[in-house]
Amino acid sequence: MLYLDHAATTVVRPEVRDAMAPFLNDAFGNPSGVHDVSRRAKNAMEEARERAAQLLGADRPLEIVFTGGGTEADNLAVIGAALADNMRRRVVTTAIEHEAVLESAHFAGRLGCEVVVVGVDAAGRVDPHDIAAACDETAVVSVMAANNETGAIQPLPEIAALIKTIDGAVFHTDAVQAFISEEVTVLNTGADMISIAAHKLGGPKGAGLLYVR
């Protein structure tokens, strides 16, 4: 079989299967337990958290929240930030976001938030100034790092700088697609929250993370 859809999902790499095997067979305990099998799982999870923090340039491992995938990470980021501050009830995003972000934004809208969806140009890129113009007492701005269908890469540093200067909103990026081929860090995105999914990177489905500053 010739598989040409790696932009959608990837096969689990052999070295990943090998690394996972002990936790499917022996160290399968609940990481919150107190016995030896649980402690082995807990230690492995915390080591993974530390490595993920280093990879993203996070200040602390506790800024890494493991999720069941990119969709859950996006849901937590957008809905969580939208509802965290009663004084800021606006969600700003773009027309070409992944459905996980758009549906989260509209869910927040049904709970009383104002949702602003900013358009993009012919190349699929958003103008940072359009994002900034949409911000007014905004809870969260969510702009994906790279589009999963067009490949358009968004100017995240410029967006981050503008919204921090103008409105001070929380800035989230869905970096699930970008992480395949681009370096994604806290520093080079300017993001307060970053979503990543393992299945795009040779990892298993049902595993992801959300960086939260």
Cβ atoms of residues 211 and 81 within 8 Å = no
The pLDDT of residue 208: 96
What is the 8-class DSSP label of residue 142? E
Q: Is residue 17 part of a domain?
A: no
Q: Is residue 15 part of a domain?
A: no
Residues 6+ apart with CB under 8 A from 13: 202, 203
The pLDDT of residue 85: 84
Residues 6+ apart with CB under 8 A from 171: 140, 141, 142, 143, 159, 160, 163, 164, 190, 191, 192, 193
Q: Is residue 77 part of a domain?
A: yes
The pLDDT of residue 4: 85
Low-confidence residues of the chain, pLDDT below 50? none
Cβ atoms of residues 176 and 199 within 8 Å = no
The pLDDT of residue 97: 97
Q: Is residue 1 part of a domain?
A: no
Q: Which CATH number fits the domain that encloses residue 127?
A: 3.40.640.10
- pLDDT tens digits, one per residue of 126-181: 999 999 999 998 999 999 999 989 999 999 999 999 998 877 799 999 999 999 88
**3-class SS shares of the chain: helix, strand, coil, % to 5:** 40, 15, 40
For the chain, the domain total comes to 1
Q: Is residue 187 part of a domain?
A: yes
The pLDDT of residue 88: 87
Cβ atoms of residues 161 and 190 within 8 Å = yes
pTM of the predicted protein model:
0.93
Q: Is residue 166 part of a domain?
A: yes
Residues 6+ apart with CB under 8 A from 181: 146
Query: Which residues form the domain of 184?
Result: 63-212
The pLDDT of residue 62: 97
